[in-house]
Structure 1
Amino acid sequence: MKKIFLILTGLMILTIVSCTDDLDTEPKVELTLEEILAEDPNAIEGIVSRLYASFALSGPNGPGSSDISDDAGESPFLRGIINLQDFTADGMKNRWGDDGLDQLTTTSNWDANNKFFRYLYNRAYYTIPQCNNLISILNSSTNIPDANEALSEARFLRSLAYFYLIDTFGKGVLATEENLGQSDPLPEASREELFYFVESELLEIQPIMSENNGYGRANKYVAAMLLAKLYMNAEVYIGEDKYDQALTYLNQILDEGGYSLTNNFLENFSSDNNNSPEIIFPLIADAVNSQSYGNTTYIINGNLSSDTMTLSDFGAAEGWQGHRATEAWYGLFGDLTTSLDERASLFWTNGHNYTMTDYKEWTDGYPSIKFRNTSFNNPDNVTTSFSSTDFPLYRLADVNLMYAECAVRGAAEADMTKALSLVNAVRTRSSAPAISMSDLTLDFIIDERARELNLEGHRRTDLIRFGRFTGSSYLWPWKGNVQNGASIPDHYNLFPIPEQALSANPNLQQNPGY
């Protein structure tokens, strides 16, 4: 097998838990974890794999199954990240408009009943108690092989789920192994409380994690990346500048991690991207073994159409005619027909209009063909309905640009010469011209992050950190449900707490403005 498939099949340990239905954090089980481990101590690897899979798959029995009581196709964690991070921002828009998707793609009329907010909230509070259950057992067991590494991985995955809650909703409840099984509703935890909990967890586990425990699994550099992400956004999350701390962990990745930029940008977004030396942490996809409507299948098929494209060129059997980029993204490359930047060629222009006059019209805007389901190193004509392209949640090019941002923002130990070199390594890899030191500004960095990282689940967070998401200082097509963009209120920097969560737990309070 060409990959380590991080899925658990036939071992139904953890079944449906929905935080918005009730806040009992004890998973419902067919067998207790103790019973399973008593029968097979090596089952721990499969259990941990199941926790990883909760970020990419909808459920344990194929694309039609769901771990939570939400739509199996619409609700997977990664699909929620793309919906809430990219379609609410400037680069990508969706035309389907089904039951709340319009509110996301136009950043307008947000309310607590939108199912897409509920999906991400529920997924986070599905993953967290599953991690808590495993953590509780591992803390009290002495005869489980590799228990310490599994424990660190479970704590990392719990921290990752909490990170998305910190970023998107700004608060929630702090469910841990200490209150596992508590029947009373948990108290509300503020953004600061969740931030410091995640920080303390990562600071404790990061130094003791393995340096390399296999593709698709968290190691000390993956944990360092999450710490760096947390610190990069600390001014937004807790009102404190922590770029110095972010730089510490970025340097660890750069100097010790052994990652390198792949020679070709597209290798990171092809079906054999597990070979890329650049990917730090992927969410795994496979057309046979880990089918989902919510992993990169959503991105690839959603940007394709059999009307104007040859689907087999992208390894896809289906084109859903859903997603198109806006000129806020491809406009950053200048004239696409003359640009030397290879990233500028990754938009489908044939039969499409440059200006998105109507975001519901398929031919308005350019579909992104950045992700594809074809092999980069071994081209073939295999087409599948589901994707085998892993999602690069963290990759080295992001680290390079984060380092440069820390340097420009004045991080104490940053080296501006190194920052310039790191940025130019990202650019020249795609045949974009190198920049000079005078070009290396915050304005340049936010634009370069769009050119390099758009559609990778970072854009909304980036715009908020740069003060460009709300208000009118930066307008993009269909912001505020206006073709040329309109101001949106500051409370849109957070999403509303889902109504079902508020109904289930009287300790939760709605975010201001909703």
Structure 2
Amino acid sequence: MKNKIYIILLSFTLALSSGSCTSDLDTEPLVELTLDELLTKDPDAVKGILARLYASFALSSIEAADKSDIQGDDPGESPFLRNLVNLQDFSADGMKNRWGDDGLDQLTTTSNWDENNKFFRYLFNRIYFTIPQCNNLLTVLQNVSVDNQEQITSEVRFLRSLAYYYLIDVFGKGVLSTEENFGGTELLPEVSRADLFAYVESELLAIESTLPTTNDYGRATNSAAQMLLAKLYLNAEVYTGTARYDDALTYISKVIDEGGYQLDPNFIRLFSADNDTSNEIIFPLIADADNSRSYGNTTYIVNGNLSTDTMDPGDFGSTAGWTGHRATKAWYGLYGDLATSTDDRAELFWTEGHNYEMDDYREWEDGYPSIKFRNINTDGSGTITEFSSTDFPLFRLADAYLIYAECVLRNAGGNPTTALQYVNDVRERSNASTITSSELTLDFILDERARELNLEGHRRSDLIRFGKFTGNAYIWPWKGGVKNGTSIPSTYNVYPIPASAIQANPNLTQNPGY
């Protein structure tokens, strides 16, 4: 059994408030004992509470896969990771979903977005479920004494910053709920993207030195905070209007030089059930078929790309094929001819029984399912289960290498020779041909990020940063609801604020264009 933090999930009952997180931002969760009473009786209980906060990014509830922390949100559809994939990958060029569920068509076709889409609500709700839970624990930790208190406090602040990062990236604004205003009765005011950016930056800078260099698997380290800072700075021009590539380079260099991580020699291991043994993953979201079941963690990715119609799900460790997700030629076309490519990553598409062209995104046979993620070990062993045991590599070293190279190309400093070496290290790991310095351009970096990182929750943000998500600078299949793609408005660079959030707090205003 994997030695994972979810094994220490609460040994006591934490009966969370059943109210919607968007309408109850400042209400302390209900518990059998108040948290300070609980910690006074059992100081070790903080480990379970902390594990609960980590679980918020992977599970719908610690109770069961068919339970939800958030009243009214479907436990299968609403978890954080499932909606990160929905909003970052299905809305971009490389992946499409065929189910046509209410709201998924809007994402797959990058069209007709509105404030009533339940998938926008799910991610917004999860963000504002997680943040008050962090605030609650931080408030209590100010008044009790527990072992490793500074480290635990820093981990909680990291998780809160991570939630705010996705709020900044996806919705562009919101309210700023902290331990300072936790428990207040007044509705919080709207806070701009730039102000949220400044807050997250200050939090991460404050905790970088207080997080440990090494930690239990699945828990945050100082490298995780540095990686998040680098990503924040990498997208600063989008978020604030001011480029911060030099700061991104500073912090990504710390990750690379000081973190002790190494590229895994086997690319497949990163997306297999034994990926907890990889020294490349900086911060994972944990999945375990025994201890942390969810329809919204990597189960969604693995099962969604499988089907009994054209393959055997058991070959990839699953008892179920959901017949849902396929890649488009905007992803697999980047490898050239899949039949002759030497790139190991080009082999991670199921082509038998499928068409190269996605003439109809609703047809399972149009497009190639991605078999990048699988619920078996690297060597093919493992138990076939309904739920996935493959962790999701939210942050990993290959991403850091590509960020370094992008920052160098954006004239942030750094060493061009080192940048080229990092890119070639990533490519050589997958047996792709190396490139020369003249070939290392920003366009190449964008394509290499797609080859290396697609289906890992980065693509929409990457395209926005490169000015290729909205407008007609880059067209992909079904962009704008058209088979061959068409221009979409710049308002789509952020998602609409969910109607339910505005109804709960009239201080929130809708993003322009919606």
TM-score of the alignment, normalized to the shorter chain, above 0.5: yes
**Aligned with 1:245 (options 223, 247, 255):** 247
Distance 1:396 1:14, change over 3 A: farther
Secondary structure in 2 aligned to 1:431?
Answer: coil
| 1:20 is the counterpart of 2:12 | no
Cα deviation, 1:339-395, whole Å, max 9, x if unaligned, reads 000100000000000000000000000000000000114x32520000000000000
Of the structure 1 ranges 359-368 and 15-24, higher mean CA displacement relative to structure 2 is found in 15-24
| 1:447-474, Cα deviation, whole Å (9 max, x unpaired) | 0000000000000000000000000110
Partner of 1:156: 158
Aligned to 1:451: 451
DSSP-derived class of the 2:5 partner: coil
Q: Does 1:111 align with 2:114?
A: yes
In structure 2, how many angstroms separate the alpha carbons of the residues matched to 1:401 and 1:441? 12
Preserved contact between residue 313 and residue 381 of structure 1 (Cα < 8 Å): no
Partner of 2:87: 84
Q: How far 1:38 sits from its partner (Å)?
A: 1.3
Residue identity matched to 1:280: I
Local SS of the residue matching 2:228: helix
Matched, 1:506 2:509: no
CA shift, 1:6, in A, is 2.4
1:184 to 179, 183, 186: 186
The alpha carbon displacement at 1:29 in A equals 2.6
Is 1:441 the counterpart of 2:441? The answer is yes
- 1:185-242 C-alpha deviation (Å, 9 max, x unpaired): 1000110111000000000000121100111100100000000000000000001111
Give, in whole Å, the separation in 2 of the partners of 1:221 and 1:451: 24
| Count of aligned positions | 511
The 1-side partners of 2:19 and 2:406 are apart by: 40
> Which runs of structure 1 show a deviation greater than 3 angstroms over 4 or more consecutive aligned residues?
none
Change (3 A) 1:454 1:53: same
- What is residue 208 of structure 1 aligned with on the other side? 210
Aligned to 2:38: 36
Shift of 1:110: 0.3
Contact in 2 for aligned 1:312/1:381 (Cα 8 Å): no
Q: Look up the SS of the partner of 1:118 in the other structure.
A: helix
Residues 44, 22 of structure 1: alpha-carbon distance in 2 compared, 3 angstrom cutoff: closer
Cα separation, 2, equivalents of 1:5 and 1:150: 14
Q: Distance in 2 between matches of 1:34 and 1:66?
A: 25
Counterparts of 1:405 and 1:298 in 2: how far apart (Å)? 31
Shift of 1:27: 2.2
Cα deviation for residue 9 of structure 1 reads 3.8
Give 1:87 shift: 0.3
Q: Identical aligned pairs, as a percentage?
A: 65
RMSD: 1.0
- The DSSP-based 3-state class of the residue aligned with 1:394 is strand
Q: Secondary structure at the match of 2:322?
A: coil
Q: Which residue of 2 aligns with 1:397?
A: 398
Unaligned runs of 5+ in 2: none
Question: Following the alignment from structure 2 to structure 1, what is the Cα–Cα distance between the partners of residues 12 and 84?
Answer: 27
In structure 2, the residue matched to 1:422 is: 422
Q: How far, CA to CA, are the matches of 2:357 and 2:512 in structure 1?
A: 35
Q: Matched residues in 1 for 2:253 and 2:441: separation?
A: 20
User: Is 1:359 aligned to 2:357, yes or no?
Assistant: no
Corresponding residue of 2:131: 128
CA distance in 2: counterparts of 1:139 and 1:423, whole angstroms: 45
Distance 1:237 1:25, change over 3 A: farther
Instruction: For 1:337 and 1:301, locate their aligned partners in 2 and report how far apart those are by CA, in whole Å.
Output: 25
Cα distance in 2 between the residues matched to 1:419 and 1:17:
49
| Closer/same/farther in 2, CA of residues 187 and 407 from structure 1, 3 Å limit | same
Contact 1:6/1:49, CA 8 A, preserved across alignment: yes
Query: CA–CA distance in 2 between the matches of 1:240 and 1:5?
Result: 38
Q: Give 1:140 deviation, angstroms.
A: 2.5
TM-score of the aligned structures, taking structure 1 as reference length: 0.98
Q: Does 1:386 align with 2:387?
A: yes
Matched, 1:227 2:232: no
Tell me what 2:257 maps to.
Answer: 255
TM-score of the two chains, using structure 2 as the length reference: 0.98
For 1:99 and 1:2, the matched residues in 2 are separated by 37
In the alignment, residue 431 of structure 2 is paired with which amino acid? Answer: S
Q: Is the 8 A contact 1:13 1:32 kept in 2?
A: no
Does the 8 A contact of 1:18 with 1:68 survive in 2? Answer: yes
Q: Quick one: structure 1 residues 23 and 40, their matched pair in 2 at CA, closer, same or farther if it must change by over 3 Å?
A: closer
Structure 1 Cα separation of the partners of residues 252 and 420 of structure 2 = 15
Q: Distance in 1 between matches of 2:19 and 2:255?
A: 36
* Distance in 1 (alpha carbons) for counterparts of 2:239 and 2:19: 28
* Contact 1:336/1:344 (8 A) holds in 2: yes
- Deviation of 1:13 (Å): 2.6
Deviation of the 1:28 alpha carbon: 2.8
CA contact (8 A) 1:25 1:181 kept: yes
Q: Counterparts of 1:473 and 1:145 in 2: how far apart (Å)?
A: 54
Of 372, 375, 390, the residue aligned with 2:374 is 372
Deviations 1:394-420 (A, max 9, x none): 0000000000000000013x1000000
Q: Gapped runs of 5+ residues in structure 1?
A: none
Distance (Å, rounded) in 2 between the aligned partners of 1:132 and 1:417: 44
**d(CA) in 2 for partners of 1:32, 1:95:** 46
Residue 308 of structure 1: how far off its partner (Å): 1.6
Amino acid at match of 1:54: S
Q: Is 1:473 paired with 2:473?
A: yes
Deviation of 1:14 after TM superposition, in Å, equals 5.4
